[in-house]
């Protein structure tokens, strides 16, 4: 009996050692599998975060572009109103100038050439010169405003083109993401 005890103890030890090795192998495989799952999960979360940040950036860019377009449209409308006012002002100034020129012509035709009449003629000439200066200034303002309007129209057109490009880029990225997601889903199904 004493012989059987050491052999069965050895058998028992061998069995326990085998069980321990099998358990270690199983635990090791489980841990490796768990690490792979965690890495895949972390990669997916990281990718989702990047997509979210990209979407936020695109939304901010689109919002800024829309604000820029609206702002430019407002400025353009104001400049167009300003141009209309300046054109009306020039028309009124030209009508006033015509009246002053007619008054000067009437004064010069008057046969009564007294010193007071000469003073009135000089006064009328100064008023005409002043009116012509105002008209010139107003016309220069019209040119400036017209140039500003052209610049704003170009900026507005450029902003609209940029907006369209952003929309197309966003749609393309969205389509690519959906294709990538569908591809990954299919890979997951194939791996199972």
Give the model's pLDDT for residue 72.
Answer: 94
By mean pLDDT, which of 5-14, 37-46, 53-62, 138-147 is the weakest? 5-14
Q: Is the pLDDT of residue 54 over 70?
A: yes
In angstroms, rounded to a whole number, what is the distance separating the alpha carbons of residues 25 and 170?
49
Q: Give the chain's length.
A: 192
Contact 78, 148 (CB under 8 A): no
Give the model's pLDDT for residue 3.
Answer: 46
Q: Is the pLDDT of residue 149 over 60?
A: yes
By mean pLDDT, which of 76-80, 102-106, 128-132 is the weakest? 102-106
Average pLDDT over residues 154-180: 89
pTM of the model: 0.64
What are the extents of the domains in the chain?
A: 1-36, 43-191
Q: Is the pLDDT of residue 48 over 60?
A: yes
Angle CA 44–48–51, to nearest 5: 140
Among residues 162, 181, 180, 179, the alpha carbon closest in space to that of 58 is found at 162
43-191, what's its fold?
Answer: Helix Hairpins (1.10.287)
């Amino acid at each position: 009996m004493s012989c059987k005890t050491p052999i069965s103890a050895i058998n028992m030890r061998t069995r326990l050692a085998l069980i321990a090795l099998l358990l270690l192998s199983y635990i090791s495989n489980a841990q490796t599998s768990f690490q792979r799952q965690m890495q895949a999960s972390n990669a997916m979360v990281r990718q989702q975060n990047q997509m979210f940040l990209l979407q936020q950036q695109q939304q901010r860019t689109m919002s800024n572009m829309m604000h820029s377009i609206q702002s430019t449209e407002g400025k353009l409308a104001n400049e167009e109103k300003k141009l209309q006012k300046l054109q009306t002002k020039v028309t009124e100034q030209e009508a006033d100038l015509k009246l002053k020129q007619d008054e000067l012509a009437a004064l010069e035709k008057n046969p009564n050439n007294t010193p007071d009449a000469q003073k009135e003629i000089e006064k009328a000439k100064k008023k005409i010169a002043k009116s012509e200066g105002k008209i010139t200034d107003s016309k220069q303002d019209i040119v400036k405003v017209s140039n500003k309007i052209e610049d704003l129209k170009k900026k507005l057109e450029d902003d609209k083109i940029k907006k369209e490009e952003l929309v197309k880029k966003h749609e393309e990225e969205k389509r690519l993401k959906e294709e990538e997601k569908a591809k990954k889903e299919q890979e997951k199904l194939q791996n199972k």
